Amino acid sequence: MTDTLENLCRDLPNFLVQRSDFQYEKKIGGGSFGDVYLAKYIPTGQMTAVKELKHETLEEPFLQYFLREIRILAKCDNYFLLHFTGYTATHPFLIVTEYIQNGSLFDSLHDQTKSLDGTQKTIIALGIACGMARLHSFNIMHRDLKSLNILLDESYFPRICDFGASRIKSAESELVTQNIGTVHWMAPEMFDSTNYTLAVDVYAYAILLWELLAEEIPYNGYSVPQIMRTVCMNDQRLTIPQGTPPNLAKLIQLCWNRDPEKRPPFDRIFKIFKSHKVSFPGCVDSKVDEALASIEAKAAQLQSHGIVISGIPTNISGVPNSQNQPSFDTESLYRIVTSGDSNQIEQHIKQLTPETCSFYFDCVFKCISQQNPTNITVPALIGILKLIVMNQDCLTEFVKRNLQNSLPFDKDEHVKLSLSILLPIFEISPKVVTTELVQKLEPFIPKFGFKICRLISVFCSNFTEVGDPWKVSDILILKAGEFIQAGASIPLMETLFGLLSRYDFFREARLQNCIPIYLNRMMSNIPDEIITSYNCLNGLQVPQLDVDPLIMATHLDNANISKFAIQFLAKNPIKRVNPMLIEAISLSQFPIQAIQALCRCAMISPKDVLDKSSLWLANPKFAPDLQLTCLMTITLKEDLRKIVATNPNMVSFLNSCLSGNPSNDVLSSLSTLMRVIPFDSQTVMKLGETGFLKNYIKLVTAANNMVVYSNCFLMIDYLCRISFLIDSLDFAPTALQLMKVPELQKYAIYYLLLLSSFEVAAASLKKLNTMSVVDSIQLTPDVKKLAEDLRHNLFF
């Protein structure tokens, strides 16, 4: 073991760290191999995820896992691969990576409080393809690519992680361990072969794309043998959701092709997404481009901290590293800038360094000040954008000279590029941005609302650290209509939500100004805007919102929106309901949220909810305990109890509550509900004829629970006082046994006393030697008096 660790230290000395370098804050995960902690890396102040192994010494196979994961992490020089901080070679054995705060892609897809839009999904798919292309360039296969192993950073950009199952594929096609990875994402060849290729990751990527579309667990409910039979023997795949763009569906089908050779490589997949030939529904291409520019800036920032970011030949994956300083004079540079030749400018800026980039900046601003045409100024400005994105030191030089305040806004072409240049400045150097600069952007909201909203969002993310932020945040509210007209509704709502949820003082001051914006977009005809509105309002938990019931009913009937609408209704009390809304809720495909929503509606208009009970009582997807909760809410109104009692579906509903294996809570709730409903004798007799009471007593006896027993006694007492049911005698043997339980004595004696008043029941109680049993038990004084009344009924 020592030799192997010594080799690792010799190969990767720059990544060696000490346990004392980290300040542990809290445990955030763990498993059989080790625990994971959130910790500050003291030398840089960076928050990291520290995996601390439980082993004092590393022996096979754990040594192999440890060494393999470190060697692979050390190669992860792509933005979309989890960034490696370091390791220790002595106990305690640590593997340290960057900390990603938003959890896994799996969490975001299956957490009903979150929602990824089409643009975010496209960026995630693009990023995974880029990261995997880099991994495959080293001949490394991941072998466990799945949504659980994709982390999302603060901007919801992906990071591929968990390389414990990864393996470097040798040129000699060494045999690979069979059946590694989670079966739901595994390629067919992994089930029955040990000689598979990098293409297994492409298959897993297809399942990931399907997850992003369907937002469901692949092969959910299938056992391992069922998955093997479906994928391998039947050569069947998951059903691609209706409405999937044809190009995206075609890509998925290519990626999960049975023949590994026909699956496209990741570098080709990346280029397909980057060129906008494939995207998810609702994706805005310009937002993807902006995200890529933002990632370029972040990559440059990482490099400035000593993290090299490289990969396939694109700006987001590599940072040029000039070996030679450029030699030029300002006159020749100005000629290049004013040539309008994009290729010549591109070649030249690649040679610039932080020490010489200022010459380029000066030439560009001189070119603009001399009123040159846009075919000259635009390529020059693009050069600035590329320069500050590729090299953060150049960006630092740019803001050091306050050039952001001199950017041109005289022409649309200039405005568009100036806004793009400001984005990495806002993100990396927010403190240099002034309120005056942001206010300067107001006139351009109608044409460039999306970009400006993104800039304000970044500015406001440092709300407590910038001067006079209220003037900037109020632009979002006062100019909301212009942002909406400019197609920036979603970033507008998300930015306001971030402020409202992060800062209590902002919520207190501006919540009432923001609510109309969300309600306005809820009535939009753009699904992504409606969904964002619902998600934000869900997160804000605003009481008594006045939302149009007809609008919500329409949303509940829309397959793309219904999930978000029902979540909103389940969580938020609203002011108005109507029969159409109740009907839409009753037919919902999301039973738990639907019943919660019905209960909230019942607090507002119980009559409307009750009038539609034939729908929600008959819906097999609604669990009985949830239906009972709704009925109990309705029966809080005394004037509605008679209507409940005469409901033609009531007897069949009560019987359905006993099907399956009802919980103790259901058994008790049934008793509580029935005892407030004024049944007539005909309904009670019908309950007896359908076997309700017989089944109920059988289930109560099996439950053997004190609370359930007491509720059973009370139910029988209530029903038999309306109309005697012979099945009530089924509980007599249990009642005699429960006489021995002091807490239940009074319940039991009242039950026996009631039955003894019916001639047929009294005869049965005599056969059970009821009084002999009662006399053998020590009774409380008040029960003794009732026992004498029972004796009188049985013998006279």
Binding residues for ATP: 51
The tokens describing 530, both together, are 């409606």
The radius of gyration of the chain's CA atoms, rounded to the nearest angstrom, is 35
- Per-residue DSSP letter, 229: I
CA gap 141, 163 in Å, rounded: 9
Binding residue ranges: 51
DSSP symbols for 138-160? TTEE-S--SGGGEEE-TT--EEE
**Residue 705: which residues within 8 A CB-CB, separation 6 or more?**
664
**Which secondary-structure segment (H or E) carries 23?**
strand 22-30
784 φ, ψ to 5°? -60, -40
Rounded to whole angstroms, what are the CA distances from 53 to 46, 64, 386, 707?
21, 13, 43, 48
For residues 770 and 729, is the Cβ–Cβ distance under 8 A? no
The tokens describing 573, both together, are 């009390």
CA gap 379, 555 in Å, rounded: 46
Which of 202, 204, 166, 163 lies closest to 182 in space, CA to CA? 204
CA atoms within 13 A on the CB side of 400: 12
CA atoms within 13 A on the CB side of 472: 27
Beta bridge partners of 140: 168
For residues 567 and 536, is the Cβ–Cβ distance under 8 A? no
Rounded to whole angstroms, what are the CA distances from 37 to 72, 626, 752?
21, 39, 62
CA gap 690, 725 in Å, rounded: 12
CA gap 396, 388 in Å, rounded: 8
**Which secondary-structure segment (H or E) carries 702?**
helix 692-703
**Measured between alpha carbons, how far apart are the two ends of the chain, in Å?**
93
* Residue in this structure with the two tokens 């709704």, named with its chain if needed: 630
**Residue 392: which residues within 8 A CB-CB, separation 6 or more?**
297, 300, 301, 303, 304, 428
* Residue in this structure with the two tokens 């939500």, named with its chain if needed: 497
Residues in the chain: 796
In this structure, which amino acid lies at residue 382? I
For residues 602 and 612, is the Cβ–Cβ distance under 8 A? no
Which of 525, 529, 587, 534 lies closest to 556 in space, CA to CA? 587
CA gap 473, 464 in Å, rounded: 12
**Residue 244: which residues within 8 A CB-CB, separation 6 or more?**
213, 252, 281
The tokens describing 211, both together, are 């997850």
**Residue 667: which residues within 8 A CB-CB, separation 6 or more?**
696, 699, 700, 703, 708, 711, 712
**Which secondary-structure segment (H or E) carries 46?**
strand 46-53
If DSSP codes are grouped into helix, strand and coil, which group holds residue 102?
coil
* Residue in this structure with the two tokens 């119980």, named with its chain if needed: 606
Cis peptide before 92 (omega within 30 of 0): yes
Buried/exposed 312-329: b ≥16 CB within 10 Å, e otherwise:
beebbbbbeeeeeebebe
